[in-house]
A and B are shown apart, each in its own frame.
Chain A
């Protein structure tokens, strides 16, 4: 009887990681940036209906880069988790931290146990109210979770975009208008393409809104903010 090939665990993990990274880098970038009233999420996304950024709960948003079918599943699972928790306990008991932990556990388990890892990188963003700081969690394909401050980038040429943002970034949080302009110029510089409002997807978690804080920016909104 033939013996199965031996592959060392290190080699196997490395192969999986390379495979996942390649898939994620093929896509386009998404930026989460804190601004004065909350957090802005900007994605380079030519589709008007297949969203990369969406609402999870009152003050929590989700962004996914990589394979659409895979992060869409994660998004739905997150909404179920949040709605169930909010129904069982109370709306204020739904936190970005517990959601990010759930995602991290799921992605980590899939990465180590399944043959094919998920080719996704996701952001869980929670806007803080009453002097609580905002929370931005970046979760990678292997379940590693990073607590980001001020700005986070996933997908595509994430490091290049991060670099471009660092050059122009300031210490105090920008207004919505300048935050959107910063994000768009960083995306344009790394892709060498002029991005029109139609090719962008943007949404905010605005702490001044009553109830559900998530709001998509319409094409008109974006045009106005980018022209100003």
Chain B
């Protein structure tokens, strides 16, 4: 049956639907790579030369019964700070969240597209995708972004979800070609990712409580901000703090600003006493 004013198409993917019928809405614009890609490849590799909001630390840690995901708030453009309050952790649906590193515009757009994709599937099929299915779909979207990544517009997600069947939180990382790898304990990406991973490696234990996992996440972000210019620490003057979300059997919840602020107050007091 053909519906003249509401044309119908066959499958349940919103991503496939707009890439076929509305390519202008895609991240890669009208049909992907243009001829300028070759010219800009080298520049893209050097990364910093492109004046695009970039640089980040986002991380995820598993705890008993769930997973916490957190990110700093700074966006940079070369040596300038482009935004002090940018949100890098996105709720995707009731059971998952994603954090992003890379070029801010395409990153935010991919998060929005992924949200729509999952809701679209759920409504058409009458049931949500599995945790694994969601992670794979995100991999395909990262892969489709490869032409833009070569030009320097990198989108690098970190995905966490609560697997209802296995009753546990899961963490997925990606590479630029869409490769999807599951992490068993914790992971961090972005320019300060390595610094955050170092902190987590020292202090991570299996079956942490949610409170301890959050504290570790915030400490790791603080240390990353200490060593990486691209990562913003807590801004005590303006009252801007990193954001975090927890995903567990109850669904996704935002960690309250007050909880994050008091965790940092404690952390900073400890550090200050060490200096005295």
Contact = CB atoms under 8 A, between A and B. Distances in A.
Contacts of A55: 123
- The 9 A-B pairs of least Cβ separation, nearest first, read A77-B6, A105-B5, A106-B3, A106-B5, A77-B8, A109-B4, A83-B120, A87-B116, A102-B6
Interface in B15-32: 17-18, 22, 25
Contacts of A141: none
Nearest to B7: A77
Given A70-B1, A83-B14, A51 B126 contact: yes
B112 interface: yes
A11 interface: no
Given A105-B4, A109-B4, 9 more contacts: A77-B7, A79-B124, A83-B14, A87-B14, A87-B18, A87-B112, A88-B22, A102-B5, A110-B1
Chain A interface mostly helix, strand, loop or mixed? helix
Contact of B25 (A54, A88, A118): A88
A200 to B, nearest CB: 17
Nearest to B91: A211
Nearest to B22: A84
Nearest to B8: A77
B87 interface: no
Contacts of B3: 73-74, 77, 106, 110
18 contacts: A55-B123, A74-B3, A74-B6, A76-B124, A77-B8, A79-B123, A79-B124, A80-B8, A80-B14, A80-B120, A81-B6, A84-B14, A84-B17, A84-B22, A87-B116, A88-B22, A106-B4, A110-B3
B201 interface: no
Contacts of B1: 70, 73, 110, 118
Interface of B: 1, 3-9, 14, 17-18, 22, 25, 112-113, 116, 119-120, 123-124, 126
Interface in A57-89: 70, 73-74, 76-81, 83-84, 86-88
A78 B6 contact: yes
Nearest to A83: B120
Given A86-B116, A87-B18, A76 B8 contact: yes
A55 B123 CA distance: 7
How many of chain A's residues touch chain B, expressed as a range? 20 to 34
Nearest to B6: A77
A79 B4 contact: no
A35 interface: no
B106 to A, nearest CB: 15
A204 interface: no
A56 interface: yes
B116 A83 contact: yes
Contact of A110 (B4, B22, B126): B4
Q: Which of A54, A77, A102, A109 has most chain B Cβ within 10 Å?
A: A77
A56 B248 CA distance: 27
A103 B123 contact: no
A61 to B, nearest CB: 11
B58 to A, nearest CB: 24
Contacts of B9: 80
Contacts of B123: 54-56, 79, 83
Interface in A12-69: 49, 51, 54-56
A51 to B, nearest CB: 7
A166 B139 CA distance: 55
Contacts of A106: 3-6
Contacts of A74: 3, 6
Nearest to A86: B116
Contacts of B113: 87
Contacts of A109: 4-5
Contacts of A83: 14, 116, 119-120, 123
Contacts of A79: 120, 123-124
Contacts of B126: 49, 51, 54
